[in-house]
Amino acid sequence: MKNRSLLLQHPPSPLQTVESEIFARQGLRLMVKRDDLLHPHVSGNKWRKLKHNLLEANRLGCSRLITFGGTYSNHLAAVAAAGTAFGFATTGVVRGEKNEPLNPTLQFAEECGMELHFTSRTDFKEKTNAGLLEKLKIDTTGSYILPEGGSNCLALTGCRELVAETEAQLGHLPDFIVTACGTGATLAGIVSGLAGQATALGVSVLKGGFLKNDVEKLLTKCLPPQSEIRNPKSAIVVDDFHFGGYAKWKPELIDFINDFKFRTGIPLDPVYTGKAFFAAFELAKNGFFPANSTVMLVHTGGLQGIAGFHQRFGPLLL
């Protein structure tokens, strides 16, 4: 068996200063935390969310990872890649019917050895993890079950490490840490590490306005009541940049992503990081951040989704 504890150690992800006329005009310093460079396939917040879950699976002697996700899920792809890298068999329960040929995300997962099971959207939504696995006749013996998105208390532990890592790199914390949000676990983890010393800003990529409540639920569930780091007051949730909902987009988003890559060399995806970075630039333009602030954007990875985006909409991204 591979020494998974050793393999899961990693150097800090690079902290890259970005020159921007918009930010400079407002007297702001802009940085990008390049978590997309943590691992070629288990990158960004997926690495951080999976890290302590993989260590726990290893501690329990589990040989298989079972998880859940949509047809273009970054999480499914990351778990499949983690299985290959760290010596776990993997099973993915996919929301929706199987369509062949498989899209690039599911094709990658299958090439990594992930066993895919497809189920209706109704069953996926209404069943508990255990109930759905039983209905699909999936044997869970010796398995470690990860929730959709990998969002649980151990995920918060991994995301919390980003804060201490950044402080060690800078010698202090940035005034604002901006991240894209789906389930809210990444934002909750960052908040739990800040202890009120800075502000975490979460940009929801989902329509519905439920992110703030989801973050509070995660903090309540995962941290003790007396904990000073449980209070989510150091979090701001922005719900105005989802572009119509999950995986929805508009031409101005694509133009921003392409321009940002041209100017900085940093690729963004249109589902998560593109929306978060777009939001930060719009907020800066409108005077949201106080002058002399340092704003750090977290690159949460998700670049594997670009191939699927191009499959659906054509090669719009550079």
Strands of the sheet containing 199-204, edge to edge, are 15-17, 29-33, 294-298, 176-181, 199-204, 235-238
Q: What is the pTM of this model?
A: 0.95
Strands of the sheet containing 89-95, edge to edge, are 115-119, 89-95, 64-69, 143-145
Secondary structure of the chain: what % helix, strand, coil (to 5)? 45, 15, 40
C-alpha 291/C-alpha 284 separation (Å) is 10
CA distances from 44 to 138, 162, 298 (A): 29, 10, 8
With H, G, I as helix, E, B as strand and everything else as coil, classify residue 201. strand
- Domains of the chain plus CATH, in order, are 4-40+159-313 (3.40.50.1100), 45-150 (3.40.50.1100)
Nearest to 178 by CA among 277, 293, 269: 277
Mention every residue, 6+ apart, whose C-beta is less than 8 A from residue 114.
76, 79, 80, 83, 90, 91, 92
| pLDDT value of residue 312 | 95
**Residue entry with tokens 């960004």:** 44
Residue 302 near residue 44, CB atoms below 8 Å? yes
| pLDDT value of residue 95 | 96
Average predicted confidence (pLDDT) for the chain: 93
Q: State which residues of the chain have pLDDT below 50.
A: 1, 230
Q: What is the pLDDT of residues 48-91, one digit of tens each?
A: 999 999 999 999 999 999 999 999 999 999 999 999 999 999 99
| pLDDT value of residue 1 | 47
| pLDDT value of residue 6 | 62
C-alpha 307/C-alpha 300 separation (Å) is 17
C-alpha 149/C-alpha 31 separation (Å) is 26
DSSP β-bridge partners for residue 102:
none
Residue 54 near residue 82, CB atoms below 8 Å? yes
